[in-house]
Amino acid sequence: MSALTPIALNTDLSEKIAAQLNLLLSNYQIFYQNTRGFHWNITGEKFFELHLKFEELYTDSLLKVDEIAERILTLGYTPLHTYTDYLSKSVIKETQNVTEGRVAIENILNALHSLLKIEREILSLSDEANDEGTNALMSDYIRLQEKWVWMYTAWLK
């Protein structure tokens, strides 16, 4: 019989899930900072609309960062917590000096696609491990982000 974590999950699978959650955490930290930058630096006729939407995104990301880190701890592992780690692991790259709405939205859509890919991989792993806690978290994230992809794509048209 394989070893179990304190919450009665397979240790080997939990370690893989925690590693993927750390990857997701890294991506969310960079996404958070990018959307903060968009919020601060956006200009133009859509300023008021986008300023609020970007605040919605970074506020959501801030909550998710905490939830992901706490899930890693619940699984019995250590969440990454330095920007050096985040930058080296993240698929989402830093953006600088984006002031134009279309460029910011395109960047957000690319980031959401990256996040969705990682979340779906975690969902598959957590399903295999019977890890309902992680599974529920990923399902919630995916549902909201799919809606955002639809909405931001519609904005670009």
Domain map (residue ranges) of the chain: 11-156
Topology (CATH level 3) of domain 11-156: Ferritin (1.20.1260)
Specify the pLDDT at position 78. Answer: 98
Alpha carbon of 96 to those of 38, 86, 144, 152: distances in Å? 9, 17, 26, 20
Q: Which of 33, 54, 46, 67 is nearest to 140 (CA)?
A: 67
pTM beyond 0.85, yes or no: yes
- Walking along the chain (157 residues) 10 residues at a time, the average pLDDT comes out as 86 97 98 98 96 98 98 97 98 97 98 98 98 98 98 97
